[in-house]
C-alpha cells in the first residue's frame, strides 16, 4: 500500500510507460498454477507488444536515469527469483536478445529460512484440482480452528472495501489474502498451512529447493547482463505494517545477501505485495537504491521508487482477445 506524502521524499521520476511484471511460468516439471504462463505464451506476448518496444534492462535503466525513455519503451521485470523463470522465461528472452530486471528475496539462500509464500503456493498448485478447492479446505480448517471469528468474517466480507486488489481476482482470492494478512495474522496462518502440508505429506524444505533459483543461477543472470535487485529478505506479505526496525532488517539483510551473490551493490528493487510506507522509501534511499517498482498503475504521479508496473495477466487477456 502506498504511503501518504511519500512523493516529497524522493525526487519525482520522469514519466515512463509502466513496466511489465511477471511471476510464475509453467512447462516441463513446473506445474501450471494460478496465473502461470508457458514459454510460447510469453513469446506471443512479446510479439504482441513488439520486440523493438522492449528494451534490455540495462538500456532501460540508463534511459530512465537520463530521462530519455520514449512513451513506447518498456522493460520486463521478474519477481521472487523463481526457478521456473530461469528455466522457462530466460530462454525466451535470450531468443529475442532481451534482458530483464529480476527482484530477489534471499532468506532461503543465506539462512535456509523457508520462503513460505512460494512453498504454500506450490503446495496448493500441485495438491488441489484448482485454487477454489484449496480455498474450500483452507477456509474450512480456519473455521474449525477459530470458529465464529472466521465464519462471521467470511460471511460479512465486502470486496468493495479492498480496491487494491485487481479486478481479475476472484472473491475468494480477496478473502484468502485478507484472511492471511489481517484476520489470522502470520502465526495462525502459518499454523493452518503447516497442518495442511503435514496432512498430505509435503516437506517444505524439498519444495523450497524445487521452486527457487540457486545462488549460482542468480549469479549467472547477473553475468548475462540482467539487472538484479532487492525484494526484501523474507518477503512479508504486508511489509508496511511491520515495525520500522524489522523493515530495516528486511532490506539491509536483503541488500548484503544479494551483494554477496552478484559481487556488486544493487541499485534497484520492487515492493513485495506492493506494500511500503514512507519509512521504507527513506530506508531505500539511504541504501542507494535509485529505482523501485510498484505492482500496479494506480498512481498518476510517482517517485523514482514507485514506478508503475502492469501485471502480465492483464496484458495476456488483451493478447488473447
Question: For 157-216, what is each residue's pLDDT tens digit?
Answer: 999 998 878 788 899 999 999 999 899 998 999 999 999 999 999 999 999 999 999 999
Which residue in the block uniquely carries the three cell numbers 494460478? Answer: 34
What is the SS3 assignment for 285? helix
The pLDDT tens digits for 3-18 are 433 333 344 556 788 9
Interacting residues of 33 by C-beta distance below 8 A, sequence separation 6+: 24, 26, 121, 122, 124, 125
How far apart (Å, rounded) are the C-alpha atoms in residues 70 and 29? 39
The pLDDT tens digits for 274-308 are 999 999 999 999 999 999 999 998 876 679 999 99
How far apart (Å, rounded) are the C-alpha atoms in residues 185 and 253? 23
Residues in the chain: 321
How far apart (Å, rounded) are the C-alpha atoms in residues 255 and 249? 10
pLDDT at 144: 97
**Of the candidates 226, 273, 229, which has an alpha carbon nearest to the alpha carbon of residue 251?**
229
pLDDT at 10: 40
Is the Cβ–Cβ distance between 26 and 38 less than 8 Å?
A: yes
Query: Residue 227: phi, psi to the nearest 5?
Result: -105, 120
pLDDT at 14: 60
What would the grid cell of residue 98 be? 532481451
115-to-201, 206, 286 alpha-carbon distances in Å: 18, 11, 26
Of the CA atoms within 13 Å of residue 184, those in its CB half-sphere come to: 27
Is the Cβ–Cβ distance between 217 and 90 less than 8 Å?
A: no
The fourth-level CATH superfamily of domain 6-113+213-320 is Glycoside hydrolase/deacetylase (3.20.20.370)
Neighbours of 314 (CB within 10 A): 15
pLDDT at 298: 80
Which residue in the block uniquely carries the three cell numbers 522493460? Answer: 75
- Beta strands, E only, 89-241: 101-104, 227-230
Positive or negative, the Cα torsion across 253, 291, 18, 3? Answer: positive
What would the grid cell of residue 92 be? 525466451
Is the Cβ–Cβ distance between 239 and 250 less than 8 Å?
A: yes
**Apex CA 118: angle with CA 182 and CA 208, to 5°?**
135
Which residue in the block uniquely carries the three cell numbers 530519455? Answer: 68
pLDDT at 4: 37
Average pLDDT score over residue span 38-67: 96
Average pLDDT score, the chain? 92
**Of the candidates 9, 164, 242, 223, which has an alpha carbon nearest to the alpha carbon of residue 251?**
242
pLDDT at 91: 98
34: buried, middle or exposed (CB in 10 Å: 19+, 13-18, 0-12)?
A: middle
The pLDDT tens digits for 230-279 are 999 999 989 999 999 999 999 999 999 999 999 999 999 999 999 999 99
For residue 139, pLDDT over 50 is answered with yes
What would the grid cell of residue 9 be? 521524499
What would the grid cell of residue 107 be? 532468506
What would the grid cell of residue 302 be? 510517482
pLDDT at 12: 56
Q: The whole model's pTM is what? A: 0.88
What would the grid cell of residue 309 be? 508496473
Intervals of CATH 3.20.20.370 along the chain: 6-113+213-320
pLDDT at 28: 86
Give strand pairing partners of 134: none
Amino acid at each position: 500500500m502506498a504511503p501518504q506524502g511519500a512523493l516529497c521524499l524522493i525526487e519525482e521520476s520522469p514519466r515512463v510507460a509502466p513496466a511489465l511484471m511477471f511471476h510464475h511460468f509453467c512447462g516441463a516439471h513446473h506445474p501450471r498454477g494460478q496465473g502461470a504462463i508457458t514459454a510460447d505464451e510469453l513469446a506471443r506476448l512479446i510479439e504482441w507488444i513488439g520486440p523493438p518496444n522492449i528494451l534490455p534492462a540495462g538500456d532501460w535503466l540508463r534511459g530512465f536515469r537520463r530521462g530519455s525513455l520514449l512513451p513506447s519503451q518498456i522493460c520486463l521485470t521478474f519477481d521472487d527469483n523463481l526457478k521456473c523463470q530461469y528455466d522457462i522465461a530466460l530462454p525466451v528472452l535470450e531468443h529475442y536478445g532481451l534482458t530483464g530486471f529480476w527482484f530477489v528475496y534471499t532468506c532461503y539462500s543465506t539462512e535456509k529460512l523457508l520462503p513460505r509464500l512460494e512453498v504454500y503456493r506450490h503446495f496448493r498448485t500441485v495438491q488441489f484440482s484448482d485454487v477454489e478447492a484449496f480455498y474450500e479446505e483452507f477456509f474450512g480448517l480456519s473455521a474449525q480452528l477459530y470458529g465464529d471469528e472466521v465464519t462471521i468474517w467470511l460471511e460479512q466480507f465486502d470486496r468493495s472495501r479492498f480496491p487494491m486488489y485487481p479486478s481479475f481476482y476472484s472473491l475468494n482470492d480477496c478473502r484468502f489474502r485478507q484472511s492471511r494478512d489481517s484476520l489470522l495474522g502470520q502465526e495462525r496462518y502459518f499454523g493452518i498451512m503447516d497442518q495442511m502440508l503435514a496432512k498430505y505429506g509435503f516437506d517444505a524444505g524439498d519444495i523450497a529447493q524445487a521452486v527457487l533459483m540457486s545462488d549460482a543461477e542468480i549469479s549467472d543472470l547477473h553475468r548475462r547482463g540482467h539487472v538484479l535487485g532487492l525484494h526484501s529478505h523474507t518477503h512479508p506479505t504486508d511489509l508496511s505494517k511491520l515495525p520500522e526496525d524489522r523493515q530495516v532488517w528486511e532490506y539491509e539483510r536483503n541488500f548484503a545477501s544479494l551483494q554477496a551473490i552478484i559481487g556488486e551493490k544493487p541499485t534497484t528493487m520492487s515492493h513485495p505485495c506492493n506494500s511500503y510506507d514512507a519509512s521504507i522509501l527513506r530506508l531505500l534511499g539511504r541504501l542507494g537504491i535509485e529505482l523501485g517498482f510498484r505492482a500496479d498503475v494506480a498512481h498518476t504521479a510517482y517517485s523514482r521508487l514507485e514506478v508503475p508496473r502492469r501485471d502480465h495477466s492483464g496484458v495476456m487477456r488483451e493478447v488473447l482477445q
